[in-house]
Structure 1
Amino acid sequence: MAVRRFSVVVPKRGVQRRAQKKPATKKPAAYTKVDYVREKTAVGSRGVRKEQMKSKRSLPELLKASDDEIIEMLVADGMLPDWTGKQCPRCEKGRLSKLLQRPGRCGLRHRCNRKHCQMYMSPTHLHPWFTDGNGAAATPLQTQAAVLLMKLQNISLPSTCQMLAVNHKLAEDMSTRLMYARQDYVKAYQPKIQLGSKKGDFRYVKYWVDVEGDEASFTKSNMLGVDPEVDPKKPVRWEQWLGLVQRGRPASLILERLNPPPSEVRAPGPGAVRKVEWMPLAKKHLQGNHIIFHTDAARSYTAKVDQVLHDNVVHAKKRKVIDGKVTWIKPNYVKVVSHKLPATSKTVRVKAGTQIIDRAWRYMKDRIVLNQILRTMNVRAGSKFLRAQIQAAQYQYWFKNEDPWTKACDLVTFKMEKMMKKC
């Protein structure tokens, strides 16, 4: 009689795998039934799969378009403003016609209807990123749109220049203009962000929201030989920012620049946020908004703020003596805590941790360029260029789950809005 032998190889799927595989460490039910993000969000827990998203425009679509088709395509998307019926920016008296073909030239143009003007104006006039020109040195609009699309997808500068055979100055200039446009948008819309809400009855759990806070350092600069007033014992300055974000709402990320004291050359960091800097920001963004505030173990965050419940997690292992023996307690990154709502006996169970804000820092630092070339251009801690890079990365985090081409069209509308109103 043949003996049936079982394979020691665990199947990749199915009931047999579930029966044979080694069980993983299971969390207790009290931990698993508490959601980390309590709010219902438009994006599921698995996030957005970029490979499953479809962008409004693709690279072949932009490069294969003719001169007339690319203009009509960009105007339809909102990437180029529609100047039809607007005041002529040259004579400031006539009105511009719809797009028409200029005799003897290729490409569509707007024409002023004033008798003594009759100017043919390019649809890229005053555009924040696109330029217009004639001759061999001019770059076609198709190529410019393709460069912009690659910059929106965070393709590196060398790869962009090699794939599209363009001069590096074109890609660098467009990247810089895009960065400052994003910074202007952040400066305009961050003051409108509100964490939590002052409305609603604070005795009910549904009116309390989870907000995470943390600070991060992006770079440091030794100011010896640069600033004559620097202290030789503490010559290092740090670029440190404070971040606040509501769980489930990436567009609620708020960044505030801090001013940490100078440190020694070998200092590992600028330290946590100081209470003198934290309290004004807490009153500005958190006070009275029914917030459960999650942070790390920095002491400044423990300050009392009205309508704010605070908890923290310790990110470092701790040495503790138990029954005469020295033991090391593992760091806590996420734990379940209970908060009692003020003026009531109700409690709310939430997960304490700073997972979302920590991922936001990682997301932003991946999009900030700090190399030796930029350091020779005086891009130091506190510089205008570095600040613009950080706020541009903040803009990208706001809309990380949306089509970058569509958001770039909205950004053009934001930049051209003031000029179009005057016309």
Structure 2
Amino acid sequence: MVKKVFHPVVAKQGKLRKVQKRPATKKDSFWEKVKYVREGAVNSRGQRKDQIKWKRTLPELLNASNRKIIDILIADKFLPKCKLQVAPRGDLHKHRCSHRNCHVWMNPHHLHPLFSECQGPQSQSLQMQAAHLLLKLHKVPQSKIHLLLGVNHKAIEDMENKLCKTRQEYVQKKEKEILLGDGKSWKDDGVMMWEQWAGIVQRGRPETLILRKLQPKITVKRAPGPGAIRKTEWKLIAEELLLDRTVILYTDSAKSYKLKLSGVLHDKVIRRHWKFLKERVLVNQHTKAESSLLKAKLRSAQYEYWSRNADFWVGCGELCSHSMQKFLS
């Protein structure tokens, strides 16, 4: 029995025939002359979830004494080093101001960017707040944290907002120090766009993810989205980050990316980095693009992308140490 061979129908004339008969990829002569070898050493994707070990565990934080939990948080850089004494009232260890006209007893987490100190039914011990933070770093849903620790939902939301703000402050400062490419050998960079944000990241280096807020034109009410990035906006971003950096740029098929830049070669591919960020930006569908909450959550997701294979507890201690330098220095 003779097998039937499928012959695709190709148009005989017109633009459709040109599209169907053209090669899948078409490179110019300049592209062929570029001496480029894709980097072979790419960072590993990390261990499996059942093989990862963080520095601290939930029982260790909950079972710690009042002095032990302070020592743990000082060792992990959540709290600054200070002289602690037993306060006259109760068995709590506090810091006493050394100024001759002050001598006020202060909690070790006074003015802390994440931990709070309050009175009444909403007050929580330092052990509970540390355990709450650990569950939050493990991406445990807020409803589960409420059931596990018996914490009020407002306290959970407050911890979430503080964590996002702390990460946002750190990311916006460190992002200015990122350089894409080295200006000598060719490197892979990818550009992706989501709603009103554009991002650039170097292949194999998630810590180089850079986000930029766009200002697209106002669309009609029922438009599916803001559309592709405009050439004027892309030109400013490209000249700031990619000019003369000897990078190969992978983007989607938007016409704006065809802008010719010195030290930049263009190729087309669709990147999937936004999937990681969108899964961590959980906001109400009516949230405005310019809202501070959305910006903070997106920057927090950017920080998680930077250190996605690291110990978030240790990284959070570094964030707190960085944030407290404002009033400790």
Fold conserved between structures, TM > 0.5: yes
Instruction: Give the share of equivalent positions with the same residue, in percent.
Output: 42
Q: C-alpha distance in 1, partners of 2:122/2:186?
A: 59
1:104 and 2:102 aligned: no
Query: What is the match of residue 290 of structure 1?
Result: 246
Q: 1:292 to 1:124 in 2, by over 3 A?
A: same
SS of the residue aligned with 1:250? strand
Q: Is the 1:243–1:255 Cα contact (8 Å) retained in structure 2?
A: yes
SS of the residue aligned with 1:251? strand
Amino acid aligned to 1:366 = E
Shift of 1:113: 3.4
Q: Is the 2:122–2:152 Cα contact (8 Å) retained in structure 1?
A: no
1:166 and 2:151 aligned: yes
Query: TM-score if structure 2 supplies the norm length?
Result: 0.85
Query: TM-score if structure 1 supplies the norm length?
Result: 0.66
Q: C-alpha distance in 2, partners of 1:102/1:188?
A: 38
Shift of 1:136: 4.4
Shift of 1:172: 0.6
1:412 and 2:325 aligned: no
| Higher helix content, 1 or 2 | 2
Query: What is the match of residue 381 of structure 1?
Result: 289
Q: C-alpha distance in 2, partners of 1:116/1:282?
A: 56
Correspondence for 1:139 among 124, 128, 134: 124
Correspondence for 2:106 among 114, 121, 127: 121
Query: What is the match of residue 81 of structure 1?
Result: 80
Q: Is the 1:39–1:248 Cα contact (8 Å) retained in structure 2?
A: no
Instruction: Give the 5 Å matches for 1:292-371.
Output: 292-312=248-268, 353-355=269-271, 358=272, 360-371=273-284
1:180 and 2:165 aligned: yes
Q: 1:115 to 1:257 in 2, by over 3 A?
A: closer
Q: C-alpha distance in 1, partners of 2:71/2:226?
A: 52
What is the CA deviation profile of residues 131-184 of structure 1, one whole-angstrom value per residue up to 9, with x for unaligned ones? 224454421111111111111112111111111111111111011011111111
Amino acid aligned to 1:411 = L
What is the CA deviation profile of residues 293-325 of structure 1, one whole-angstrom value per residue up to 9, with x for unaligned ones? 11111111111000111111xxxxxxxxxxxxx
Shift of 1:115: 4.2
Q: C-alpha distance in 2, partners of 1:280/1:185?
A: 24
Amino acid aligned to 1:68 = R
Amino acid aligned to 1:271 = G
| Higher strand content, 1 or 2 | 1
> How many residues are matched?
294
What is the CA deviation profile of residues 83-118 of structure 1, one whole-angstrom value per residue up to 9, with x for unaligned ones? x3xxxxxxxxxxxxx112223312211123344432
SS of the residue aligned with 1:401? coil
Q: C-alpha distance in 1, partners of 2:90/2:151?
A: 24
Amino acid aligned to 1:251 = E
Shift of 1:272: 1.0
SS of the residue aligned with 2:191? strand
Q: Is the 1:39–1:247 Cα contact (8 Å) retained in structure 2?
A: no
Shift of 1:249: 0.5
Query: What is the match of residue 250 of structure 1?
Result: 206
Shift of 1:391: 1.3
Instruction: Give the 5 Å matches for 1:151-300.
Output: 151-198=136-183, 200=184, 207-217=185-195, 240-300=196-256
Shift of 1:37: 6.5
Q: Is the 2:87–2:93 Cα contact (8 Å) retained in structure 1?
A: yes
Q: C-alpha distance in 2, partners of 1:60/1:370?
A: 31
SS of the residue aligned with 2:197? strand
Q: 1:295 to 1:120 in 2, by over 3 A?
A: same
Amino acid aligned to 2:266 = H
Mind listing any 5+ residue stretches in structure 1 that lack a counterpart? 1-35, 85-97, 201-206, 218-239, 313-352
Q: Is the 1:37–1:248 Cα contact (8 Å) retained in structure 2?
A: no
What is the CA deviation profile of residues 14-61 of structure 1, one whole-angstrom value per residue up to 9, with x for unaligned ones? xxxxxxxxxxxxxxxxxxxxxx972524x32x5442321111111111
Q: 1:192 to 1:76 in 2, by over 3 A?
A: same
Q: C-alpha distance in 1, partners of 2:152/2:167?
A: 23
Q: C-alpha distance in 1, partners of 2:122/2:242?
A: 53
Shift of 1:123: 0.5
RMSD: 1.9
Shift of 1:257: 0.8
Query: What is the match of residue 399 of structure 1?
Result: 307
Amino acid aligned to 1:208 = W
SS of the residue aligned with 2:94? strand
Mind listing any 5+ residue stretches in structure 2 that lack a counterpart? 1-36
Q: Is the 1:75–1:81 Cα contact (8 Å) retained in structure 2?
A: yes
Shift of 1:268: 2.4
Q: C-alpha distance in 2, partners of 1:72/1:134?
A: 23
Shift of 1:261: 1.0
Q: C-alpha distance in 1, partners of 2:217/2:267?
A: 27
Q: C-alpha distance in 1, partners of 2:311/2:270?
A: 27
Q: C-alpha distance in 2, partners of 1:386/1:398?
A: 18
Q: C-alpha distance in 2, partners of 1:174/1:277?
A: 35
Q: C-alpha distance in 1, partners of 2:212/2:99?
A: 50
Query: What is the match of residue 62 of structure 1?
Result: 61
